[in-house]
Amino acid sequence: MKIKLLTIASLLALSAFSSQAQAACSGPPIMIPGSSAELEGEIRVKSGTSCSFGVSGIQGAISEVKILQMPKVGKAVAENLRAHYMAKPGYQGADEFTYVFIGTDQYGGPMRVVFKRKVTVVPNL
């Protein structure tokens, strides 16, 4: 199954999901310069909550998402063409993980966009 992404602006969408809070994670969008890139960005995640990462605004189709480097403290999974990070309950501090979106660009060529996320886990008050 492929998700087609049609808009011209290239941004990484950051969306949070949590049963405990609406604003479980936050971070600025990351500009995607093309169909082959290695990018880095920072996020803040509340302890014991989760974040979900997908792409929007890139021309082409994503066919696969893989976790390339697992976090040292939290957990990461790739499912439904999204990367998910789960912060360990009670933990506060730094973590990081890396994931990749794989697919084809708007011209049928290969697409591989790698994201390294530097995570700051904060208390969930």
The string of pLDDT tens digits covering residues 49-94 is: 999 998 877 788 999 999 999 999 999 999 999 999 999 999 999 9
Q: What is the pLDDT of residue 54?
A: 87
d(CA 5, CA 106): 9
Residue of 51, 39, 79, 54 lying closest to 4 (CA atoms): 54
d(CA 98, CA 69): 5
CATH 1.10.150 for domain 3-122, yes or no, is no
d(CA 23, CA 87): 14
**Total-model pTM:** 0.81
Q: What is the residue extent of each domain of the chain? A: 3-122
**What percent of the chain has pLDDT above 70?**
82
Q: What is the pLDDT of residue 115?
A: 96
* Three-class DSSP category at 78: strand
